[in-house]
Structure 1
Amino acid sequence: MDGPLLRADERLGAAIRTSAVPAGPAEFFADLGNMTVALPVLALTLAYVTWRTRQWLPAVTALVTMALVPALVVPLKTGLARPGPPPMAPASGFYPSGHTLTAAVAYGLCVLLLGAVCRTRAWAYGCVVVNAAVGLGLVRQGYHWPVDVVGSWCLAALLLAAAGCAISRSTRRSSSGTPRRRSGPS
């Protein structure tokens, strides 16, 4: 494989892998991209938000969006067959990073869903920090190249933008049909 970003990607990946970032925390954050961690977090968020709002459409939107993750990643990994970093080479199928996409979409959906219930930006900031740590952990541990992580973040942005529009419409539509209390004579 060759391309304009290859050398820069290799240099950055090597710098991160040999950096002072401790392996233990890097592995912990890399593991946050596993479906066994991200999906239960999303499921709890779906249950809480559905219970609080009594709306099913946002939950269905989130489930469909999450189902698109493997539907997109598997064919891309197979078609591109990008080799992994030195500890993983010569194996292929590393672009895009499924762990990064899983984390970004699952935790991003949690933020979108919680936005309907809790009006605070802290969830969004936390999501950005966690996803940056997941990406750093995956590169530090030698599971992915930096471009694998960035490519997954780009895919996640597209999926979350579409899901955000759908969730926003469904919550707006349901709230506009709800009778409002009047503060005065009718």
Structure 2
Amino acid sequence: MLPAVLAVLLALVSWQVAVAGPLLGLDRRIRDGVQHAREVWHSVPLNDLGQLLSDLGDPLPAYAVLLGTAALAACRSRRAGRRRWWLPLPSALLAAVLIPLLVVPAKDYFSRPGPLGPPLLPGQQGWYPSGHTSTAGIAFGVAALLLGRTLAAAARRRLAALTALLCCGVGLGLVWCDYHWFLDVLAGWSLTGLVLWSLARWLPRPR
């Protein structure tokens, strides 16, 4: 049920972006509300937090967490005597390769300008879907998925909840800092969910 909902949501948003449909009005209303809140609150710590969360979607920290966590999961699996203890390493590499393969062609195809409004230059990638949202979501999500298979059920649930909260924070930080439209972020979240669901089906179930 969940992957079908995510696929339909991603297809709907992509269609609206492609045809400049009425759903894009939601983006403008959310941006106006966020800008009004920034002006009213004028909170430097909140702005700094938004910037920090946005930066977590950069490839360098996201890939570092992904590969480091995969190595930790492999070590824990080996100590536990599992047969395919090395599986987290190629899984992490696959996820790292998959992110640009999914995001970059879509950015080129939709060529959507960002919230700041300047038209795209020749050869410049668009803003849809959000690369930072997808990078953080897939990298941190896969890392939690791999490490979670070496943890007890309660710890695995806590790790999943914290990872979901962090990934949501990255997307909201991008909207708060005016780097992305909300629908860009929503597409990144949907894409992340589909990738994580597919990987969870492929990996062996945790003991």
User: TM-score under structure 2 normalisation?
Assistant: 0.77
* Cα distance in 1 for residues equivalent to 2:92 and 2:197: 12
Aligned to 2:107: 77
The 1:17–1:67 alpha-carbon spacing in structure 2 relative to 1, beyond 3 Å, is farther
The 1:137–1:17 alpha-carbon spacing in structure 2 relative to 1, beyond 3 Å, is farther
Aligned to 1:165: 201
**3-state secondary structure, aligned to 1:9:** helix
- Decide which structure has the larger Cα Rg and report it: 1
The 1:89–1:110 alpha-carbon spacing in structure 2 relative to 1, beyond 3 Å, is same
Moved more, 100-109 or 19-28: 19-28
Moved >6 Å (runs of 4+): none
User: TM-score under structure 1 normalisation?
Assistant: 0.85
Q: CA deviation at 1:16?
A: 2.0
Q: CA deviation at 1:122?
A: 1.1
Q: CA deviation at 1:43?
A: 1.6
Aligned to 2:51: 27
Aligned to 1:184: none
Deviation digits for residues 85-118 of structure 1 (CA, Å, limit 9, x no counterpart): 02x5323600000000000001101111111111
**3-state secondary structure, aligned to 1:168:** coil
**Alignment gaps of 5+ in structure 1:** 173-186
Aligned to 2:67: 43
Q: How does 1:105-116 map to 2 (within 5 A)?
A: 105-116=138-149
- Work out which of the residue numbers 46, 62, 66 in structure 1 matches 2:96: 66
* Amino acid aligned to 1:135: G
Aligned to 2:183: 147
Aligned to 2:118: 89
Cα RMSD (Å): 1.7
Maintained 8 Å contact 1:107/1:127: yes
Maintained 8 Å contact 2:67/2:89: no
The 1:139–1:51 alpha-carbon spacing in structure 2 relative to 1, beyond 3 Å, is same
Q: CA deviation at 1:143?
A: 0.8
* Cα distance in 1 for residues equivalent to 2:204 and 2:103: 26
